[in-house]
A and B are shown apart, each in its own frame.
Chain A
């Protein structure tokens, strides 16, 4: 399976590298050697639908910047202090709401093959002995690359060999085959982005069903992995509350609560730039037409009382099913926390600390906590 990749570009600086060679062989397309991303970007930009074209063009290159970077949390909202392991960009699946369509100019499937440098960056992070949550699923889906190259076979054992950092692999796929027999030492959290069946069917092209995601998580739990779930983006529509509650129940009907490191929630928000892209690419989608107001970070967000109402129903259900599971918001403000969770993360030393504590508890971390709350 090559996920419909039609063109393969290899940066001349990494030509001949074992990873690039292995991927080229696996995909079975004759690669075009290029000096830098220019020709790749042109090939994508010239398409009438660059966001779709970018999903069929794979560019193997090196990460010339930092491999571990702070999650680009926006100002004024509470950020969780996540770190991104920057393994690649964009995604082969096609979710209408995906911000990556507007975030990269143009969006291109890029996989960084200079894994030697990635390992050095990780070694430095591990040496620091500070508790750190690191994920690969921010600029891409963590597991889509597994069919091209089994990166998990490198990352999972690396994290297993230390005890201060935890890796979160976040996905909408079932591509866990490479992971099940790995020595993970519970330092890898397998996470799924979840949504209602209706949202998955209508808005998440090419992703696997809710049932498959949860059953795949269940398989990972059987292999000893801790798991996490992200209700993000939550969409507001008639009947959404009942459908999200169904998702909560489905999770807890299949996954033991004490195996869940955290559950996050985030209502749909978007940069205004995404709206025309979504309207053009997904004319049947109605998700951008609702009571959206401009947030303090200039992103469009559901009018606060509406999103708080949805949060309250879901939180109530989670609390009913699993009172102790760690639940948090991705990018919400104090008011939302106070009025829906009943507390501010500040009482736990900040959101980052709250999650670090949960990671420590579930994954057996022994590093030191980072000092002070994260503030932006």
Chain B
């Protein structure tokens, strides 16, 4: 590819033409501050466009840098200009390579790069090989997922682009109504759950909604859930835990009731510190686990006395009866 180094008036650049734009983030103040401090270290790349009437150049890479220096009132900007006969595919490759070489692209940027380049390279295997050559390692399977990502509502794509939601979680919302997607995006933006917690919350929301035949937005509007979200709780993590518990109660009402019964019986046993009585997961197994902390022979003796004492306790018998009260 042939390009020349030059100084240009920023007004001669058509910043609105984003055919080669990969970056999703808008320029923040730090970019301007950095340029003010140390100058423009990495000049943008442009392409001369002869037929343009109001501007002579379009941006291949460096949208944010151009915006930043324009905002700072620079009258001239250092640029590299690709010749006008450079093919769109080569310009796009240049744009992707330029971005990839300076930072990691977020998922939405990768998806956009794939979408734009696949116009020229429709075969996914060739496309991946080409991207690998310029430093972006993708598989055909991932390319297919990116195609699906770009069909999701814009708001959801943006959440993915900001790194707040993993790709798999976003794809699991395919086909969901827009209001529900909007509410989920708001929830994720606000509470910023980690990957595992997000997966759990989304799957509970979807499964409960599916079970009841209602949209997810209606689940989020249920008093037990909306009460938490509108509680004004300042601690994000505490709110997430409350939400998690509320959703679990919605999805597993009987299991949670049994756990409550167990906890109530256990409290009546008044077990001393160092003794833990653990119920089997999901109460599927009939075997419970008793954990004893022992530091001395007298501890063992004390535990022995305790075992004898509680073995006929009505609360223990209730635990072993394993009947779910109505």
**A and B, one complex?**
yes
Residues of B within 8 A of A293 (CB): 255, 281-284
Residues of A within 8 A of B283 (CB): 293, 303-305
Interface residues of A in 239-294 (CB under 8 A from B): 286, 289-291, 293-294
Question: A303 contacts B211, CB within 8 Å?
Answer: no
Question: A294 contacts B282, CB within 8 Å?
Answer: yes
A306 within 8 A of B: yes
Chain A, Cβ-Cβ closest to B321: A339
User: Nearest Cβ distance between residue B132 and chain A, in whole angstroms?
Assistant: 25
Most B Cβ at <10 Å: residue of A76, A296, A304, A306: A304
A49 within 8 A of B: no
A335 within 8 A of B: yes
A295 within 8 A of B: yes
- Contacting residue for B286 out of A286, A290, A305, A333, CB 8 A: A333
Chain A proximity mask over B285-315: 1 for CB below 8 Å, otherwise 0: 1100000000000000000000000000000
Chain B, Cβ-Cβ closest to A77: B284
* Known contacts A294-B281, A296-B284: A303-B254 contact under CB 8 Å: yes
**Distance in angstroms between the alpha carbons of A76 and B287 in the assembled complex:** 12
Interface residues of A in 182-217 (CB under 8 A from B): none
* Known contacts A303-B254, A305-B324: A295-B284 contact under CB 8 Å: yes
Chain A, Cβ-Cβ closest to B325: A305
A94 within 8 A of B: no
Chain B, Cβ-Cβ closest to A283: B175
| Number of B positions contacting A (CB below 8 A) | 20
Question: B286 contacts A335, CB within 8 Å?
Answer: yes
Question: B211 contacts A286, CB within 8 Å?
Answer: yes
Residues of B within 8 A of A290 (CB): 211
* Known contacts A286-B211, A290-B211, A291-B252: A305-B258 contact under CB 8 Å: yes
Chain B, Cβ-Cβ closest to A301: B284
Residues of B within 8 A of A333 (CB): 286
**Distance in angstroms between the alpha carbons of A291 and B252 in the assembled complex:** 5
Question: A306 contacts B211, CB within 8 Å?
Answer: no
- Contacting residue for B211 out of A76, A289, A305, CB 8 A: A289
Residues of A within 8 A of B285 (CB): 76, 296
A334 within 8 A of B: yes
User: Nearest Cβ distance between residue B239 and chain A, in whole angstroms?
Assistant: 25
Interface residues of A in 304-362 (CB under 8 A from B): 304-306, 333-335
Question: B255 contacts A303, CB within 8 Å?
Answer: yes
User: Nearest Cβ distance between residue B260 and chain A, in whole angstroms?
Assistant: 13
Question: B255 contacts A289, CB within 8 Å?
Answer: no
Residues of B within 8 A of A303 (CB): 252, 254-255, 258, 282-283
Most B Cβ at <10 Å: residue of A296, A301, A306: A296
**Distance in angstroms between the alpha carbons of A293 and B211 in the assembled complex:** 16
**Distance in angstroms between the alpha carbons of A334 and B324 in the assembled complex:** 18
**Distance in angstroms between the alpha carbons of A333 and B283 in the assembled complex:** 12
B208 within 8 A of A: yes
B27 within 8 A of A: no
Question: A291 contacts B258, CB within 8 Å?
Answer: no
Residues of A within 8 A of B286 (CB): 333-335
- Residues in B lying within 8 Å of A, measured CB to CB: 207-208, 210-211, 213, 251-255, 258, 281-286, 322-324
- A-B pairs, top 3 by smallest CB distance, nearest first, are A293-B282, A305-B324, A289-B211
Given contacts A303-B282, A304-B284, A305-B258, 4 further A-B contacts (CB under 8 A): A290-B211, A293-B281, A303-B283, A305-B323
- The contact sample of 30 A-B pairs, CB cut-off 8 A, is A76-B285, A286-B213, A289-B207, A289-B208, A289-B210, A289-B211, A291-B251, A291-B254, A291-B255, A293-B255, A293-B283, A293-B284, A294-B284, A295-B282, A295-B284, A296-B284, A303-B254, A303-B258, A303-B282, A303-B283, A304-B282, A304-B283, A304-B284, A305-B258, A305-B283, A305-B323, A306-B254, A333-B286, A334-B286, A335-B286
